[in-house]
Amino acid sequence: MNTTLEDAKVFSVAEMTGLPAQDLMQLQLAAKKALQKTKDLKDWIDGSIALKYESQAKALRTQLGKDTGTVNFDDDGIRITCDLPKRPSWDQKKLADIAKRIAVDGDDPAEYLDITYKVAERKYTAWPETLRQAFTPARTLKMGKPTFKLAIADGGEQ
C-alpha cells in the first residue's frame, strides 16, 4: 500500500473513492488497528486515573452519605469529578408478574411501569402470513448504517 493514514487525512472524498480497492482495504485495516490501539491506551490511562483517585472518591461519597452519584474534589489545581452511576436492572418475568397482579387488583400497570413490547425480526419473518398481517401495521422498518468490510477475494483477510 502506498497510501498511509496520514495521507488519507487530507484526501477529498473523490480522491478516496479513486483509490484502488487494495489501498482502501489496507487503509480500513490500518484505521481499525489504530483505533484499537488508541482505545487500549485510553483504557490504560482511565484505569490509572481510577486507581489514583478511587479511594478519595469513595471516602468523599461515604462522608456525604452517598452510595452512588457524582463527587468532586481537587488535586493540585485540577478538579476531579467522579461519577458512580446507578445501573439498575430488572427481572422482566418478575415485572410481568407484578404487572398482572396490578391489573387483577384493578389498577393500570402503566401507572407504575414503563411497558415495552417488541417482536424479534427472526420470529416475525418465520410466522405464517396470516399472523404477520395482524402485526404489520405496528411494524416500522428502519435501515441501519451500511458497513463494508474489504478482504482479499480468496477469502483470506488482511
How far, in Å, are 51, 124, 134 from residue 128 at the CA level?
56, 9, 11
Q: How confident is the model at residue 94 (pLDDT cuts 50, 70, 90)?
A: very high
The residue-averaged pLDDT of 105-129 equals 94
- For the chain, what are the domain ranges? 5-84, 92-138
User: At 3, which amino acid appears?
Assistant: T
Q: Residue 77, Cα to own-chain centre: how many angstroms?
A: 33
Reduced to 3 states (helix: H, G, I; strand: E, B; else coil), residue 22 is helix
Supply 110's cell numbers.
Answer: 402503566
Is residue 53 within 8 Å of 71, Cβ to Cβ? no
The chain-wide mean pLDDT, for the chain, equals: 91
Report the relative pairing of strands 78-84 and 69-75 from DSSP bridges: antiparallel
Q: How confident is the model at residue 150 (pLDDT cuts 50, 70, 90)?
A: low
Say if residue 141's pLDDT is above 80.
yes
Give the model's pLDDT for residue 147. Answer: 74
Neighbours of 27 (CB within 10 A): 20
Say if residue 157's pLDDT is above 60.
no
Q: pLDDT tens-digit profile of 3-18? A: 899 989 999 999 999 9
Q: Which of 41-45, 103-107, 137-141 has the lowest mean pLDDT?
A: 137-141
φ, ψ of residue 143 in degrees (nearest 5) = -95, 140
